[in-house]
Amino acid sequence: MAALSAAIPFVTFHRMIDTARLPERADRSAGGSLPIRAVRHCDAVTSAAGFGWHLHAPMDFDLIWDGAQIWWHCAGLEGWMPLGSAQFPHFASRFDAAVPEEIRGYSPPFLTALQEPGVVQMWTGLAARTAPGWSLLLRPLANLPRHPAYEPFEGMVEADHWFGPLFTNIRLTRTGMPISFRRSEPLLQAQPVPQIAYSDAVLASATSTTDLEAMSAADWADYHRSIVVPNQNENHRPGAYAAEARKRRKSGRCPFGHG
- pLDDT value of position 249: 61
Those residues with Cβ within 8 angstroms of residue 83's Cβ, 6 or more apart along the chain or in another chain? 63, 69, 70, 71, 72, 111, 112, 113, 120
DSSP one-letter string for 215-244? S-HHHHHHHIIIIIHHHH-TT--TTHHHHH
Mean pLDDT value across residues 64-88? 96
Q: pLDDT tens digits for 104-116?
A: 999 999 999 999 9
Residue 216 main-chain phi, psi, to 5 deg? -85, 165
Kindly tell me if the per-residue pLDDT of 194 is higher than 60: yes
Is residue 71 helix, strand or coil? strand
- pLDDT value of position 254: 46
User: What is the distance between the alpha carbons of residues 242 and 258, in angstroms, rounded to a whole number?
Assistant: 24
Per-residue confidence band for 28, with pLDDT thresholds at 50, 70 and 90: confident
Beta bridge partners of 112: 85, 121
What pTM value is reported for the model?
A: 0.83
Kindly tell me if the per-residue pLDDT of 4 is higher than 60: no
* Sequence ranges of the domains in the chain: 11-201, 210-244
- pLDDT value of position 26: 92
User: Which CATH number is associated with domain 11-201?
Assistant: 2.70.40.10
